[in-house]
């Protein structure tokens, strides 16, 4: 039995999570996974109504009573400082120590890429984004607020332990998935303290993986190369903020935000799955959000939970939908969120 908590959240979050839930239920009906699903109300609406972002009670339940969390998205203009989103999403990442943010980028159909790919091999790489340090810890201060001499400081934190565990994870992944190269994205030329540590640790860890090429690139050049020769990349490991930026770029190379899944994990302990995209306020309520990123996130969930057959079936059903043109407008179709979700769920159920 896999115990799954849903946090649909804000904007298109509930719209895409509804379809992901439908697909999970189809897996259960088809005997591909044994799931128990419970929905949590946390998001902007709940915060505005109760003053509660993520209650301690919910946190403890999410931590102790579930194997996996599926989050839609958080972010709402009625909460301009984004406080609830930080407490819920970053709160769970930090408090559950979900140090791996795994963001795969695979081109599922050549026509989905905005690039001209005639001379390329398929795009198929993964990003390991460090998820608990960097510029995201909130460390910093405002001095002399509102005065001419105002100064804002946000501290980037890198610890040897924090860097080593994500770098090792990236190399382990490469080794167990037949990948031949791990690329570090950093900015050691301009930010020597933090990224100097990243480079040293990366080089040290690499010596334990002699069969894998260890490649270090400044992130600006890496971004350029991702567009120019995306097929060169296999596994990218990088810091929190750089990984955030690179993963939106990566998503766009393979069809866009509507297709990009992710997993935030503390291996063997806790996991939170979510589409890479946000609450997409510009299209929320129009029924046009692409549910595939959320659905593919459930495939990552099922695979990590040991339900490989269910994961395969979900991925195959998404591929079949793409092939058959069952697509939302972001990828050139005219189907609604619900129609795409229904089609995929039926395919998974084998109807
Ligand atoms: P966004 O990812 O929500 O949207 C960027 C663009 O991609 C928009 O044009 C949007 O319409 C499109 N898009 C996103 N998801 C889509 C989908 N499923 N189908 C089709 N098109 C899709 O990024 P943003 O606009 O910068 O952020 C909006 C809000 O979401 C902000 O409050 C932000 O903080 C929050 N956010 C939350 C998460 C999360 O919860 N994991 C991630 C990113 C952003
Ligand atoms: C993501 C999002 C979050 C992040 C925001 C909503 C804090 O952009 O998951 O990619 O920056 O990590
Ligand atoms: Mn992001």
pLDDT value for 128: 98
CA of 61 to the centre of ligand 3 (A): 26
Domain ranges of the chain: 1-106+257-351, 114-253
Number of H helices, E strands in the chain: 12, 12
- Residue-level pLDDT at 146: 97
CA of 13 to the centre of ligand 1 (A): 9
Q: What is the 3-state secondary structure (H, E, C) of 240-279?
A: HHHHHHHHHHHHHHCCCHHHCEEEEEECCCEEEEEECCCC
pLDDT band of 326, cuts 50, 70, 90: very high
Whether 220 is catalytic: yes
CA-proximal residue: ligand 2, atom 3 (nearest): 244
- Burial label, 232 (beta-carbon count in 10 A; 0-12, 13-18, 19+): middle
- Which residue has a Cα nearest atom 38 of ligand 1? 278
* Shared fold status for 1-106+257-351 and 114-253: yes
Span 80-100, average pLDDT: 97
Give the angle subtended at the CA of 20 by the CAs of 19 and 24, to the nearest 5°: 115
Q: Which residues pair with 129 in a beta bridge?
A: 101, 238
Can you tell me which atom of ligand 1 is nearest the CA of 74? 40
Pick the closest to residue 217 from 231, 229, 199 (CA basis). 199
Q: What pLDDT is attached to residue 100?
A: 98
Q: Is 248 a catalytic residue?
A: yes
Q: Position of tokens 């690179």?
A: 246
Average pLDDT across the chain, whole number: 97
Fold classification of 1-106+257-351 (topology level): Isopropylmalate Dehydrogenase (3.40.718)
- The whole-angstrom separation of Cα 25 and Cα 183 is 38
- The CA distances from residue 40 to 70, 87, 239, in Å, are 10, 14, 30
Nearest residue (by CA) to ligand 2, atom 9, is 276
Q: What is the mean pLDDT of residues 196-213?
A: 98
pLDDT of residue 351: 65
Q: What angle do CA 322, 328, 330 make, to 5 degrees?
A: 100
Q: What is the mean pLDDT of residues 322-331?
A: 98
Distance 276 CA to ligand 3 centre (A): 6
Inform me whether the pLDDT recorded for 120 exceeds 90.
no
**Ligand 1 midpoint to CA 60 (Å):** 28
Tokens of 330: 């972001």
**Class of domain 114-253 as given by CATH:** alpha beta
Distance CA 120, CA 114 (A): 13
H runs (alpha helix) in the chain:
13-29, 44-50, 56-64, 83-85, 91-95, 160-176, 192-206, 219-228, 240-253, 292-304, 308-324, 337-349
76 is catalytic: no
pLDDT (tens digit per residue) in 277-315? 999 999 999 999 999 999 999 999 999 999 999 999 999
pLDDT at 184: 98
What is the per-residue burial (b if ≥16 Cβ within 10 Å, else e) of 48-81?
Answer: eeeeebbeeebbeebeeebbbbbbbbbbbeebee
Q: Which ligand approaches the C-alpha of residue 274 most closely?
A: 1
Alpha-helical runs (H) found in 2-122: 13-29, 44-50, 56-64, 83-85, 91-95
Catalytic residue (choose from 97, 124, 248, 312): 248
Q: What is the pLDDT of residue 117?
A: 80
Q: Residue whose CA is closest, atom 10 of ligand 2? A: 244
For the record, the structure tokens of 53 come out as 């972002």
Q: Is 195 in the active site?
A: no
Residue with tokens 């990948």: 179
Active site annotation includes 218? no
User: pLDDT band at residue 118, thresholds of 50, 70 and 90?
Assistant: confident
User: 102 pairs with which residues across the strands?
Assistant: 128, 263
CB hemisphere CA count around 17 (13 angstroms) = 26
Cα-based distances in Å from 79 to 10, 292, 331? 11, 27, 30
Q: Find the 32 Cα to ligand 1 centroid distance in Å.
A: 31
- Residues in contact with ligand 2 (CB, 6 Å cut-off): 75, 85, 89-90, 244, 276, 278
Residue ranges lining ligand 1, Cβ < 6 Å: 12, 16, 73-75, 82, 85, 89, 257-258, 274, 277-283, 289-290, 293, 330
């Amino acid at each position: 039995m896999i115990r799954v908590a849903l946090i649909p959240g804000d904007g298109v979050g509930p719209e895409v999570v509804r379809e992901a839930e439908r697909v999970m239920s189809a897996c259960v009906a088809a005997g591909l996974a044994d799931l128990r699903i419970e929905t949590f109300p946390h998001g902007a609406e709940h915060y505005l109504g109760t003053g509660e972002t993520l209650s301690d009670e919910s946190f403890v339940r999410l931590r102790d009573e579930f194997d996996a969390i599926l989050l839609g998205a958080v972010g709402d203009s009625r909460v301009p400082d984004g406080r609830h989103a930080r407490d819920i999403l970053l709160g769970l990442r930090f408090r559950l120590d979900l140090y791996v943010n795994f963001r795969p980028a695979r081109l599922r159909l050549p026509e989905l890429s905005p690039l001209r790919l005639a001379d390329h091999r398929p795009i198929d790489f993964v990003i390991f984004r460090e998820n608990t340090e960097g510029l995201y810890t909130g460390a910093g201060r405002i001095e002399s607020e509102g005065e001419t001499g105002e100064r804002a400081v946000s501290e980037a934190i890198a610890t040897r332990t924090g860097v080593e565990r994500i770098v090792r994870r990236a190399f382990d992944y490469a080794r167990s998935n037949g990948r031949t190269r791990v690329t570090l994205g950093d900015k050691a030329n301009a930010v020597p303290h933090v990224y100097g540590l990243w480079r040293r640790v990366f080089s040290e860890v690499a010596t334990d993986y002699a069969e894998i090429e260890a490649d270090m690139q400044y992130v600006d050049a890496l971004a350029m190369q991702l567009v120019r020769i995306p097929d060169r990349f296999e596994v990218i490991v990088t810091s929190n903020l750089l990984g955030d930026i690179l993963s939106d770029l990566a998503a766009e190379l393979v069809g866009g935000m509507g297709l990009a899944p992710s997993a935030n994990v503390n291996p063997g302990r806790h996991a939170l799955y979510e589409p890479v995209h946000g609450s997409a306020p510009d299209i929320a309520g129009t029924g046009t959000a692409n549910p595939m990123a959320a659905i593919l996130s459930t495939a990552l969930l099922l695979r990590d939970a040991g339900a490989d057959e269910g994961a395969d079936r979900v991925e195959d059903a998404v591929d079949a939908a793409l092939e058959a043109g069952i697509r939302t407008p972001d990828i050139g179709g005219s189907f609604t969120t619900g129609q795409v979700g229904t089609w995929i769920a039926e395919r998974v159920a084998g109807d």
